Every structure is written in C-alpha cells, then in structure tokens.
Amino acid sequence: MKLPFIKETPLKVPYTTPNVIGILVNRLTTLLDEMAESRPIVVVCVGTDRSTGDSLGPLIGTSLAKYRSPHFSLFGTLENPVHAMNLDDTLIEINRRFHKPFVIGIDACLGQVSSVGSIQLGIGPVRPGAGVNKDLPPVGDIHLTGIVNVGGFMEYFVLQNTRLHLVMKMSEIIALSLFTAIANHAHLSTSVLEQTAAADNL
C-alpha cells in the first residue's frame, strides 16, 4: 500500500559525497512515486551554453537525451537550450502537448561559498534568473539545482568564470541520478498496473 505523502525537507548534498547518486536516486524515486503517479514526466533543463556556470542545465539535458528514454520528455539541451528568451514559449508548449504534466525543473544557481558544489532537490519550482535579478516564470513540480559558484556580487561575471570541471561533474551526477530514478518509477508503476490487472481478472 502506498504511504501518504509526507512533505520532506529539501535535500542538499555536495557532489563529492560518497554514494551521492544513491542518495539522489532514493529521494527522487520517493518523490516521483508519491507525486507523479501516472502523469507524463517532463524534464526542463534551463540554461545556456554561452556561460560556463549557466551551462549546467543544457549539459544535463544533453546527457539525458543520449538515453533515448520513453519514460520522460525532455526540453533543454546544448543544441536546443531553454533560456530567458524562450522559456515562456517552452512552458506554453509543454502544457499544450501534455495533459497534467509532472515537470522537473533543473537549473544552475549561486550560493554561499560553503555550498558551492552542492546539489539541491526539493518540492516546488525552480526560479530561473533569480540569481541575476531576472523575472522569469517558475518551472517544475519539483526542482534540481546545482550551486555552481558564489552569489551576491557581479553574478553575470561569476557565472562566466565558473570552472567547467565542476559543472561537468555535477551534470553527470544529476543526469544519471534522474534517469535512474525515473526508470525505477516507471518499473514500479508498470508492476502496480500489472498487479491491478491480474487482480481484476481473478
């Protein structure tokens, strides 16, 4: 029997943490099982490849695209990024194409020096552009963000001068964790449907 959903505190874990992928997969799978149910899963990776720090989302999207998974739809890659100029149109397209989509918003963000390199997972939308004072629409039923550099001063310059190594490592971890969790959720959902069908035939 599915347990009632309990609102969990946001997860914040440094990318260097041992078993970081396992930690993310467990929390993501729980959130998907409790919140997504049978809704179509849509992953929106926000960012641009014109800025090293802001390329986290498109890098994750490009990695996810390689899996060619039938279990989710994807927006935002290095080739076709989702950014400030087309975010509104992208969200309109998602709501036109999918019935009650469960959206996972992904973006880079800035934070305190002690948090740089941390991956955050929480309920509710990501707010793109908040770190650079842009007023953009919120994205996602849940969100995944990577803290790529220090915020609070000359944010555009800081994003431009973020280490690519950090962004690449975080993108690999997030992409693999998300793909694994969605696959786990899809497998569980299929098993439940099969069990229900079998019970109906008794």
In tens, the pLDDT along 142-199 reads 999 999 999 877 787 888 889 999 999 999 999 999 999 999 999 876 654 444 444 4
Other C-beta atoms closer than 10 Å to the C-beta of 82 total 27
Are 157 and 119 in contact, with CB atoms under 8 Å apart? no
Cα–Cα distance measured from residue 12 to residue 175, given in angstroms and rounded to the nearest whole number: 16
Confidence of residue 132 (pLDDT cuts 50, 70, 90): low
SS3 145: strand
Which CATH number applies to 11-183? Answer: 3.40.50.1450
Cβ atoms of residues 30 and 3 within 8 Å = no
3-state SS, residue 182: helix
The pLDDT score that the predictor gives to residue 8 is 66
User: How do residues 20-70 score in pLDDT, each as one tens digit?
Assistant: 999 999 999 999 999 998 899 999 999 999 999 999 999 999 999 999 999
Q: Are 149 and 116 in contact (CB under 8 A)?
A: yes
d(CA 117, CA 140): 22
DSSP tag of 73: E
- Read off the pLDDT of residues 63-85 as tens digits, 9 standing for 90 and up: 999 999 999 999 999 999 999 99
Whole-angstrom Cα distance, residue 78 to residue 97? 22
pTM for the full predicted model = 0.88
Structure tokens at 75: 């927006």
Helix axes 56-65, 164-200, angle to 10 degrees: 50
- Look up residue 120 and give its two tokens: 């955050």
Q: Quick one: pLDDT at residue 131? A: 57
Which pLDDT does position 146 carry in this prediction?
97
What average pLDDT does range 79-106 have in this prediction?
A: 96
CB 127 within 8 A of CB 89: no
